């Protein structure tokens, strides 16, 4: 059998609560929303945000909490999920630095729709949604970017619905691995490593399967030489093969 290796996943473990002013400005410049704005504008916008730090595993907010703010990830990874009555979690999205989460809307929906959990220790820039809306009103170009981002997420959600409705667990898992590799992948000696701690449970929660099914499929992929895996990590060695499976 293949001898498993120690986890190759390297997570940047900046102390939470530490985003230097320089880092903040760099982050805000690199966020798609604000890219292209003049420096002074971004410096002004920077004043409206405040920092928040969370430890790995910490819950940032829970679905149903009163929705007050929007957050932009400066460092770390956040997962967005929903709990179900039967105890199964649904992992809706996995976010990286530069992406936002929280609420965008007016008081219309005053509760968070889903739960946000820090997968690693994270540093985030938070802003009250009233202030964020004032930014949108002041800079229409930012509004356009935000609209594009949300439209993109809607398209992604529709693709997920399509997969859940028409594909097998194997196809969905293959497609999910490819998507994750595309977003989080890094070249590594064992292959294209998905740079985030990723358990079978989480993979199951992303694909609408059970952990057991995820494990079986992953084992098969490994036997077929498509991937390398270990505890909490997966690396893709044959993305073309996976792509064929995913159809």
Does position 7 interact with DNA (CB under 7 A)? The reply is: yes
Question: Which of DNA, a second copy, none is residue 213 near (CB under 5 to 8 Å by kind)?
Answer: DNA
By C-alpha distance, which of 78, 2, 3, 9 is closest to 233?
9
Rounded to 5°, the CA angle 197-58-132 comes to 105
Q: Which residue carries 């057991």 as its tokens?
A: 212
Question: Which of DNA, a second copy, none is residue 50 near (CB under 5 to 8 Å by kind)?
Answer: none
Cβ 201 to DNA shortest distance, Å: 5
List interacting residues with a second copy (CB under 8 A): 82, 84-86, 88, 90, 92, 104-106, 108-109, 113-114, 133, 136-137, 140-141, 143-144, 146-148, 150-155, 157-158, 160-162, 164-166, 208, 247
Dihedral angle over CA of 139, 153, 199, 212, nearest 10 = 160
Residues with Cβ within 8 Å of residue 21, at least 6 apart in sequence: 46
Does position 106 interact with DNA (CB under 7 A)? The reply is: no
Q: Which stretch binds DNA (CB under 7 A): 42-50, 66-74, 108-116, 200-208?
A: 200-208
Does position 89 interact with DNA (CB under 7 A)? The reply is: no
Cβ 73 to DNA shortest distance, Å: 22
Question: Which of DNA, a second copy, none is residue 162 near (CB under 5 to 8 Å by kind)?
Answer: a second copy
Does position 148 interact with DNA (CB under 7 A)? The reply is: no
Mutual angle of helices 169-184 and 239-246, in 10-degree steps: 140
> Which two structure tokens, joined as six digits, stand for 174?
């293959």
Q: Which stretch binds DNA (CB under 7 A): 1-9, 37-45, 47-55, 129-137?
A: 1-9
Question: Which of DNA, a second copy, none is residue 219 near (CB under 5 to 8 Å by kind)?
Answer: DNA
Cβ 189 to a second copy shortest distance, Å: 35
DSSP string, 186-241: EEETTEEEE-S---HHHHHHHHT--HHHHHHHHHHHHHTTSEEEETTEEEES-HHH
Q: Which stretch binds DNA (CB under 7 A): 101-109, 124-132, 181-189, 213-221?
A: 213-221
Q: Residue 72 in contact with residue 95, Cβ under 8 Å?
A: no
Cβ 6 to DNA shortest distance, Å: 4
Closest CB to a second copy among residues 84, 240: 84
Cβ 216 to DNA shortest distance, Å: 5
Mutual angle of helices 211-223 and 169-184, in 10-degree steps: 80
Residues with Cβ within 8 Å of residue 81, at least 6 apart in sequence: 89, 90, 91, 92, 114, 115, 117, 205
Radius of gyration from C-alpha coordinates of the chain: 19
Q: Which residues bind DNA (CB under 7 A)?
A: 3-7, 168-170, 199-201, 208-213, 215-216, 218-219, 222, 229-232
């Amino acid at each position: 059998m293949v001898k498993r290796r120690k986890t190759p996943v390297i997570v940047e473990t900046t102390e939470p609560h530490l985003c230097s002013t320089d880092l903040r400005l760099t982050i805000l410049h690199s966020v798609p929303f604000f890219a292209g704005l003049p420096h002074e504008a971004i410096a002004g916008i920077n004043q409206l945000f405040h920092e928040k730090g969370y430890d790995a595993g910490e819950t940032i907010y829970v679905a149903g909490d009163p929705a007050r703010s929007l957050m932009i990830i400066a460092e770390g990874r956040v997962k967005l999920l929903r709990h179900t009555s039967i105890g199964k979690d649904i992992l809706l999205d996995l976010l990286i630095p530069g992406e936002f989460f929280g609420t965008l809307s007016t008081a219309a929906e005053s509760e968070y729709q889903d739960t946000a959990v820090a997968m690693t220790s994270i540093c985030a820039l938070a802003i009250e949604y009233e202030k964020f809306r004032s930014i949108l009103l002041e800079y229409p170009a930012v509004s356009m970017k935000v609209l594009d981002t949300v439209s993109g997420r809607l398209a992604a959600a529709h693709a997920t619905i399509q997969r859940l409705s028409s594909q097998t667990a194997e196809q969905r898992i293959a497609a999910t691995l490819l998507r994750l590799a595309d977003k989080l992948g890094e070249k590594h000696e064992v292959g294209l490593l998905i740079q985030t701690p990723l358990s079978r449970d989480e993979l199951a929660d992303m694909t609408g399967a059970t952990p057991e099914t995820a494990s079986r499929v992953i084992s098969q992929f490994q036997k077929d030489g498509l991937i390398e895996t270990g505890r909490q990590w997966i690396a893709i060695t044959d993305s073309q093969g996976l792509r064929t499976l995913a159809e």
